[in-house]
Amino acid sequence: MIDIKFLRENPEVVKENIRKKFQDSKLPLVDEVIALDEELRKNKRRADELRANRNKVSKSIGMLMGQKRFEEAEEAKALVAAQAKELAECEKLEAELEEKVTGIMMVIPNIIDPTVPVGKDDSENVEVERYGEPLVPDFEIPYHTDIMERFAGIDLDSARKVAGNGFYYLMGDIARLHSAVISYARDFMIDRGFTYCIPPYMIRSGVVTGVMSFAEMDAMMYKIEGEDLFLIGTSEHSMIGKFIDTINPEASLPYTLTSYSPCFRKEKGAHGIEERGVYRIHQFEKQEMIVVCRPEESPVWFNKLWQNTVDMFRTLDIPVRTLECCSGDLADLKVKSIDVEAWSPRQKKYFEVGSCSNLGDAQARRLKIRVKGEDGKTYLAHTLNNTVVAPPRMLIAFLENNLNEDGSVNIPVALRPYMGGKEKLIPTK
């Protein structure tokens, strides 16, 4: 959410930003919110006048009564009563106007970074750099669930009976591999100076609307019936929420945290053949990283965050590339975003395994995450997040890139301590 003062003073900048995001239907909202804001400020000024006058007249009543000027005192009382009624109306209108202004400001997109490429959707995202040689072996690579089944490592049929489509049972070596990757990712980030955290897996609606747009909320979040609680879609939600309504000493920044959690997502819409199996599911686990920092530090941290994911995937012998998200592919709160994509030898293309985002002060403004500077003044922090690793999707890339012709799977050196020293997984089928 952008600053209402910035919008008031720079309406054309805000409109041009909306055009860059190809959301022209939101253009009228800028003028609408400016008009509402002017009405709100005018109403507040009148309410302040009424309060000041009430206090002044109220003090005079005692003086008039003491001087036995009863008629004038009664007139003053009548004036106070009338102005009290008007003040109550002003306060009611103020609440209504504030709700309308906030509602509109919540759907006007954040100002994107000037370096973001302009494009309508993810088809116009721009490749930045490749890391590792994307090889295609001279033998056929099966679909990822077929690879897992060779290790008796997945049971989708039972999961459908228990929970429906979009769920899974991982078994044996594949389940162990899943846990090993998460544990390795945790230690990888701890070694890079991040503090490990296990957050709540449910959050209140006030945090939900603080960390994401309404469109994202509707498409992603599961609501707990009868309670003001939602299942998290990623631990970023509760991790950023940790700092809600806080004033943080400038000297204590940046906060660099890495968190583990299960994640729950609706995943609305139809998906293609390549997104069956465990590619797009309702429940998965993830290691995340978040940063809360001073505004001038966020560009540097942005580059550090996506580089962490690239480095970790390369230690597991998985080729990756970075992709700059274009303006039309950015969620409304994001200033800038880079996706990390892993190479799929079977599909002969890259697919998304993580996303790094700088949200500027948008989440901080909604959640009131403030910083107190050395001069005693407060300002809004910047927040960033990035996926370290999210199996089981990451397992697809791992299995395809480490598969041998005989069906065995190599375990990279970095992961062996988490797999009991195994150098290979041997299929049972």
Domains of the chain from N-terminus onward = 4-105 (1.10.287.40), 122-425 (3.30.930.10)
Q: Which of 298, 355, 365, 366 is the catalytic position? A: 355
Q: Which of 94, 352, 370, 408 is the catalytic position? A: 352
Residuewise pLDDT in 10s, the chain (429 residues) = 899 999 999 999 999 999 999 999 999 999 999 999 999 999 999 888 888 777 676 666 666 566 667 777 667 677 767 778 888 889 999 999 999 999 999 999 999 999 999 999 999 999 999 999 999 999 999 999 999 999 999 999 999 999 998 899 999 999 999 999 999 999 999 999 999 999 999 999 999 999 987 777 778 899 999 999 999 999 999 999 999 999 999 999 999 999 999 999 987 654 554 557 888 889 999 999 999 999 999 999 999 999 999 999 999 999 999 999 999 999 999 999 999 999 999 999 999 999 999 999 999 999 999 999 999 999 999 999 999 999 988 999 999 999 999 999 999 999 999 999 999 999 998
Does residue 352 carry a catalytic annotation? Answer: yes
Q: Tell me whether residue 390 is exposed, middle or buried, using C-beta atoms within 10 angstroms of its C-beta: 0 to 12, 13 to 18, 19 or more.
A: buried
Q: Which of 265, 321, 346, 365 is the catalytic position? A: 265
Does residue 416 carry a catalytic annotation? Answer: no
**Total-model pTM:** 0.89
CB atoms within 10 A of CB 14: 23
**Cβ distance 213 to 318 under 8 Å?**
no
Q: Which of 280, 294, 370, 416 is the catalytic position? A: 280
Q: Which of 150, 186, 366, 393 is the catalytic position? A: 393
Contacts 24+ apart (CB under 8 A), 343-349: 343/132, 343/134, 343/318, 343/319, 343/397, 343/401, 344/396, 344/397, 344/400, 345/134, 345/135, 345/136, 345/137, 345/141, 345/400, 345/401, 345/403, 346/141, 346/142, 346/143, 346/144, 346/400, 347/274, 348/136
**Cβ distance 369 to 243 under 8 Å?**
yes
